Amino acid sequence: MAKTTIFISSTFADLSGTRKAVGDDLRRAGHAPVLFEDGSLSYDSRAPLEVSGYEQVKRSQILVLIIGRRYGSSAADPTNTLTRGDYISITRKEYQTAREAGIPIFTFVLKDLERDAEAYVAHGRKRQYDSVNDVQVLELIDEIRRERRNNPIFYFETAEQISDQLRTQLSGIIRRSVEDMLAREHKIPINCFKLYWYRVDRSGARAARGGRGLTIEELSDSTGLPPSFLKRIETRKRVEDDPISPN
């Protein structure tokens, strides 16, 4: 049975215990967590170690981002432009890679950072923040918060709280996937060209009908599609630009 690949992204020195606990819980639940420290990450000898992590993020189905007090090491990236001593950390690059790939992201932030994270929204770099070793931690949280979608942020005190929330979120993903699958099974493929032909054809078998095609009502009786839906199709120039439902 295929397992859901879940990449766990965070700094290591301050969150190693949390990473292990969350990874163990996901594994017990039947998923496939990816953590570099347990050997579940496949490395490419031709590239820097962290690049293998970015490639694995792209192959994963979900990214779990855990943010603590530390910002982390600089990413070995030629686009990693330094400004005021700032840089993109490996963890931040993993997050950005997941966002660019359109992968669902669940962000968990240490509860002790919540007050400073809120203060940063109001004051930016105009004040000092004691909860983190680098203000860029708060900037990353704010970057996530300002996204229009795929940006849920949960504050945590224990690894168990992360695991509990992930169970809820993963259940929601499964439920929506099933609902989408069932909805696709009930969709009716419609060949609009054929419908148009039956409406206007005046040759062959249509000659027996006095040289006319089917009326909207007759076509509705033959296909089971509502007359209002068929009328909407006929007035469309490009159906694929604005899909419509027969319901």
pLDDT score of 173 = 85
pTM: 0.72
Cα 7 to Cα 10: distance, rounded to the nearest angstrom: 10
Phi, psi of 33 (to 5 degrees): -70, 145
Q: Consecutive 10-residue runs of the chain (247 residues): their mean pLDDT?
A: 88 96 95 90 81 93 97 77 76 96 96 97 95 96 94 96 94 80 62 58 50 70 72 60 48
What was the pLDDT predicted at 178? 73
Check residue 210 and give its pLDDT.
53
Integer Cα distance of 212 and 201 in angstroms = 7
Residues 151 and 145: beta-carbon distance below 8 Å: yes
Asked if residues 86 and 143 have their Cβ atoms less than 8 Å apart, the reply is: no
pLDDT of residue 108: 98
Q: What is the pLDDT of residue 240?
A: 47
